[in-house]
């Protein structure tokens, strides 16, 4: 059985408040699963390179074993075009895709939000998320702009969005687990304001405010923001970074201007 989910970019990061906003983009992870009599074996390929970290796979299987009471194993293959450690929701996409595929393989009758919540719980158990990343998981699975309360795993709102985004992926990576112990509560008053803007439909303003706040706090280079804003684009920091994205009417022009900062791709919002 197969499952799939996409990358997403951040409008409001939930680290400081537990509430977040994210938008799905057209960059995909797919999973193929076959249920076996025992054991977990398979392969993870990210942009053509094999990854040996199976924590998330083991967590998804463990959770579904608990849910069904079964003692099954799986043979799996996960292929992803979402780079790891850039803030583009690679873990949420993998959790969604694998959970969906395994739910199908086990012939379980679950609602889509149940599938997403299972993937979020698996990501927590695997230690690849700080907040549960329910906002990221919803945007990855459903697409569109998703507004969530991650403390309650509630989807507060969703709207369709169209257009393209330019995504900048600097060479360095930043793993979520490395941020444990950081006190993001000092950002709360500013991030709450960004969240209010997003609720009011001003998600572009929210993305800029959120990106500058978190980008400065985490020590990311703000030059890509300056370049994008000088060209009339709407930039944001995706997740913990270092990936930056921007909404613009001239994606090719901005992509060229961003080339000195790292790998650049133009992707559709979904």
Three-class secondary structure of residue 263 per DSSP: strand
Question: Is residue 240 part of an annotated ligand binding site?
Answer: no
Question: Is residue 4 part of an annotated ligand binding site?
Answer: no
Residues 139-167 have a mean pLDDT of 97
CATH number at residue 207: 3.30.70.890
Question: Is residue 49 part of an annotated ligand binding site?
Answer: no
Q: Are residues 113 and 217 in the same domain?
A: no
CATH number at residue 127: 3.30.230.10
Question: Is residue 132 part of an annotated ligand binding site?
Answer: no
Question: Is residue 92 part of an annotated ligand binding site?
Answer: yes
Q: Would you state the torsion angle of the CA atoms of residues 117, 123, 125, 126, taken in this order, to the nearest 10 degrees?
A: 160
Question: Is residue 211 part of an annotated ligand binding site?
Answer: no
Q: Are residues 142 and 27 in the same domain?
A: yes
Q: Is the pLDDT of residue 176 over 90?
A: no
Q: Are residues 172 and 146 in the same domain?
A: no
Q: Is the pLDDT of residue 60 over 90?
A: yes
Q: Is the pLDDT of residue 177 over 80?
A: no
Q: Are residues 27 and 137 in the same domain?
A: yes
- In total, how many domains does the chain have? 2
pLDDT digits (tens, 9 = 90+) for 4-16: 999 999 999 999 9
Q: Are residues 85 and 171 in the same domain?
A: no
What share of the chain has pLDDT > 70, as a percent? Answer: 100
Q: Are residues 139 and 29 in the same domain?
A: yes
Print the domain residue range for 165.
159-268
pLDDT digits (tens, 9 = 90+) for 212-250: 999 999 999 999 999 999 999 999 999 999 999 999 999
pLDDT digits (tens, 9 = 90+) for 45-55: 999 999 999 99
Residues 142-171 have a mean pLDDT of 97
Question: Is residue 84 part of an annotated ligand binding site?
Answer: yes
| Pairwise CA distance, residues 51 & 178, whole Å | 19
Q: Are residues 84 and 202 in the same domain?
A: no
Residue 245 CB neighbours (<10 A): 32
Q: Is the pLDDT of residue 183 over 90?
A: yes
Which domain-ending residue is among 116, 133, 158? 158
Name beta bridge partners: 269. Answer: 25
Residues 32-38 have a mean pLDDT of 95
Question: Is residue 73 part of an annotated ligand binding site?
Answer: no
Place of tokens 């923001």: 225
Name beta bridge partners: 236. Answer: 245
Question: Is residue 174 part of an annotated ligand binding site?
Answer: no
Q: Are residues 70 and 149 in the same domain?
A: yes
Which domain-ending residue is among 142, 158, 174? 158
Residues 92-116 have a mean pLDDT of 98
Q: Are residues 13 and 85 in the same domain?
A: yes
Which domain-ending residue is among 128, 158, 188? 158
Question: Is residue 108 part of an annotated ligand binding site?
Answer: no
Q: Which long-range contacts (CB under 8 A, 24 or more apart) does 46-51 make?
A: 46/80, 46/81, 46/82, 46/83, 46/84, 46/90, 47/80, 47/81, 47/83, 51/84
DSSP state of 83: P
Q: Are residues 186 and 135 in the same domain?
A: no
Q: Are residues 123 and 170 in the same domain?
A: no
For residues 117-133, one letter each, b for 16 or more C-beta atoms within 10 angstroms of the residue's C-beta and e for the rest, the string is bbbbbbbbbbebbbbbb
| Pairwise CA distance, residues 159 & 51, whole Å | 34
Q: Are residues 136 and 189 in the same domain?
A: no
């Amino acid at each position: 059985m197969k499952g799939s989910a996409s990358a997403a970019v951040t409008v409001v990061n939930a680290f400081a408040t537990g509430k977040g906003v994210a938008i799905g983009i057209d960059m995909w992870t797919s999973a193929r699963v076959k249920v076996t009599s025992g054991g977990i074996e398979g392969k993870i390929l990210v942009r053509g390179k094999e990854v040996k970290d199976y924590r998330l796979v083991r967590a998804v299987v463990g959770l579904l074993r608990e849910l069904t009471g079964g003692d099954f194993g799986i043979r799996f293959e996960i292929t992803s075009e979402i780079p790891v450690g850039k803030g583009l929701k690679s873990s949420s996409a993998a959790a969604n895709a694998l959970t969906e595929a395994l739910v199908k393989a086990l012939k379980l009758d679950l609602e889509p939000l149940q599938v997403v919540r299972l993937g979020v719980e698996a990501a927590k158990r695997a230690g690849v998320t700080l907040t549960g990343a329910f906002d990221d998981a919803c945007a990855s699975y459903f697409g569109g702009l998703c507004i969530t309360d991650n403390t309650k795993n509630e989807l507060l709102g969703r709207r369709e969005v169209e257009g393209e985004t330019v995504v900048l992926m600097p060479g360095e990576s930043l793993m979520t687990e490395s941020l444990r112990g950081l006190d993001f509560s000092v950002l709360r008053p500013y991030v709450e304001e960004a969240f209010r803007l997003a609720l009011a439909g001003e998600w572009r303003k929210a993305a800029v405010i959120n990106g500058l706040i978190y980008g400065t706090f985490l020590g990311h280079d703000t030059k890509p923001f300056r370049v994008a804003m000088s060209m009339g684009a709407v930039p944001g920091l995706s997740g913990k970074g270092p990936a930056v994205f921007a909404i613009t009417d001239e994606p090719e022009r901005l992509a060229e201007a961003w080339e000195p900062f790292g790998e650049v791709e133009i992707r559709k919002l979904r």
